[in-house]
Amino acid sequence: MFKLIKSYFKIIKERDPAAKGFLEIILCYPGFQALVLHRISHKLWKYKLPLLPRVLSQLTRNFTGIEIHPGAKIGKGVFIDHGMGVVIGETSEIGDRCLLYQGVTLGGTGKECGKRHPTLQENVVVGAGAKVLGAIEIGSNTRIGAGSVVVKNVDRNSTVVGIPGRVVHQSGVKINPLAHSALPDAEGNVIKNLMDRIDYLENHIIGLQDLIEKGNINKEKKQLFISDSQSLRDKEIIDFLGAAQQDIDL
């Protein structure tokens, strides 16, 4: 228990420059308070005591604004920053050194019994307001952008953004877990690529109109439609739209 508390202190000091000392962390960090109280309720839950673990969990929620079901499994060095509105479901599993911001939900998607909440491997960062739903697995060293909704498994070393969450791999790139401004703008990139494509097609239409007026359309037609149709930006659009669109013939 003391080793776990020590790991909480260490990660808070490491990731929050506002943390000035141990007493401040104990008294003023609801994420720390919620995790310590969860350790107690989780122990009671493992002993199969009726009602008491849920009552303690509810009191913790009222006190900190963070709702953690006593059945959830949480590793060492986990940091819930600010934490208001965080909800962690019964069968959730959170690996070591994960970072959760306010408004995060690790929830289920149905009423089935058994495993129905997410599993986060080590060093996962979940941005403010993000929702991770269902019995899915989020790979280690993954970042989930603020406001994203993730409903599918995510490989390790990935970044997830958007609704529904879409994956952008960044293999081999070391990323500061606190650098939220470095998240890619997947929607913006796709919109830009589509606008480029529209410009390209409009220019060809203008060219066709000119050729029609000059009476040379039959001679020049094949040259006009030679294009970079299998370019990376087309692939990026397909990836953004999802696997269901992979059979589109560009």
Say how far apart CA 247 and CA 164 lie, in whole Å: 20
**pLDDT for 246 beyond 50:** no
CATH number at residue 127: 2.160.10.10
Mean pLDDT of 220-241: 52
Q: For 58-72, 95-109, 203-217, which range has the lowest pLDDT when averaged over its residues? A: 203-217
pLDDT (0 to 100) of residue 176: 56
CA distances from 157 to 142, 196, 237 (A): 5, 30, 22
Higher pLDDT, 180 or 27: 27
Same domain, 234 and 143: no
Asked if residue 73 is part of any domain, the answer here is yes
Last residue of a domain, one of 146, 166, 182: 182
* Pairing relationship of beta strands 158-161 and 143-144 according to DSSP bridges: parallel
Determine what percent of the chain is predicted with pLDDT higher than 70: 76
pLDDT digits 0-9 by tens, 84-133: 999 999 999 999 989 999 999 999 887 777 889 999 999 999 989 999 99
Residue 81 in this model has a pLDDT that exceeds 60: yes
- CA distance linking residue 79 with residue 82, whole number of Å: 9
Helices (H) and strands (E) in the chain, counts: 7, 15
Q: Once rounded to an integer, what is the mean pLDDT over residues 136-148?
A: 89
Average pLDDT of the chain to the nearest whole number: 78
- Tell me if 250 is assigned to some domain: no
Mean pLDDT confidence for 17-31: 82
